[in-house]
Amino acid sequence: MIRATNREYLDTSDTGTLTRISGDVTQNNGKSLVAPFSGTDCVALRYQIEERRFSALYLFPWYVTVHEATGAVTFDVQTETGTIPVVEPARTVALSTEVVPTTGSATDPPERIQQFEQESDNVPPSTVWRDPPSVVRPLFSVLSIGTRRYSEQRAAVGDKLTVVGRVTDGGSGIDPLVVSDRSPAETVFRMAKTSLGGLLIGVVGLLLGIFLVLGL
């Protein structure tokens, strides 16, 4: 993001250039996404379901991601000197996170979320963490094991965004790599932190598996 050239407008000579634009989302060309948990209309979206479990990386219960997805529609960004179309779905959405609800293992989520979980093949409606054996159920209850947290990152018409991507043929728009509501440096830091966290969890899980299987 930091290496991308900051631009206020595009021309035909910019084709293929890694470019950064900033401005307000002015329209979504009649298209929108509906955030699954809040029901909010948006142009870019990342949503996540996390479940509180015991983790190999930590000595105490932590939220583990059980499902996440990213989506976007085409939209326009109004810079100081012109309007630039963002013409393809974004690969990465790095926006402010809102936790919509948090529900305990013995509590049903709101009806909209229940329906989403029932209709999605990628979301387990129940896990051993939410419905544990009776012998450990009191402990799980005290530690809030099985609690689910439903969060969304959304961008809508009127929001100020920074978009990084490559200029399409003839300077007609941006094919986005990243859509963010933060500065370039803050976005890079956040993406690096997320990637590093996932890497550490994977390494610890691998080492634990080797220890258990090989008895090292």
Residue 193 in tokens:
């932190």
User: What band does 84 get if pLDDT is binned at 50, 70 and 90?
Assistant: very high
Residue 149 contacts residue 99 (beta carbons within 8 Å):
yes
φ, ψ (nearest 5 deg) of residue 213: -80, -45
Least confident of 27-31, 105-109, 129-133, 206-210: 206-210
User: What band does 8 get if pLDDT is binned at 50, 70 and 90?
Assistant: confident
List pLDDT tens digits, range 177-213.
999 987 666 665 555 444 434 443 344 434 433 333 3
List pLDDT tens digits, range 117-148.
999 988 988 899 999 999 999 999 999 999 99
Tell me what pLDDT residue 185 has: 62
Tell me what pLDDT residue 137 has: 93
* Mean pLDDT for the chain overall: 82
Helices (H) and strands (E) in the chain, counts: 3, 13
Per cent of the chain over pLDDT 70 is 81
- Name the pTM for this structure: 0.80
Distance CA 96, CA 36 (A): 16
Residue 83 contacts residue 25 (beta carbons within 8 Å):
no
